[in-house]
Amino acid sequence: METETERPQDPQNDSQQDSKKPNPSSLAFRIWPPTQRTRDAVIARLIETLTTPSVLSKRYGSMPTDEADSAARSIENEAFSAADAEAAASAEVDGIEVLQVYSKEISKRILDSVKSRASAAGTGSTTALDDSNNGTEAAGEASEDAVSSVEMEA
């Protein structure tokens, strides 16, 4: 039966192993663009927001799951494209700023989506000032919840 004998320490071998270990000062944390896993989690959260009782559903009604799925995918894709265009337009824009654009675009698009669905169905408030103030706050809360819950998962 063979036993492993202790080998003498080789300084050159140790330095090669150390170079394989990530150096904390050389690690880069990239917040933009999000991974596909993160984008999928945002979509799932949007679907949940659109189909379950929430601030938006109380005001504009909830959507069936299949409709919410296509709406959420469209909302996320359009918001991602807008934020990515912002990132590409200026090299000085950092990831946090682009993430804020992404979140605001999701808020805007989710609100537009539920408003158009509610007006087509004849539900929801028709007062423009009331809609713009309360709806924007509700959509902002929904998208911030989606993005922040995803950030925690990542």
| Residue ranges covered by each domain of the chain | 35-153
From first CA to last CA, the distance across the chain in angstroms is 47
Residues 98 and 71 sit within 8 Å (Cβ to Cβ): no
Rounded CA-CA distance 47/55 in Å is: 14
**Superfamily (CATH H level) for 35-153:** WPP domain (1.10.246.200)
Segment 63-96, tens digit of pLDDT: 999 999 999 999 999 999 999 999 998 878 888 9
Distance of CA 115 to the CA centre of its chain: 22
Nearest to 142 by CA among 96, 99, 95, 108: 108
Sign of CA dihedral 11, 17, 19, 22: negative
- Per-residue pLDDT band for 143 (boundaries 50, 70, 90) equals low
Segment 99-135, tens digit of pLDDT: 999 999 999 999 999 999 989 887 554 443 344 455 5
Segment 49-63, tens digit of pLDDT: 999 998 888 999 999
pTM: 0.66
Choice between 12 and 53, residue whose per-residue pLDDT is larger: 53
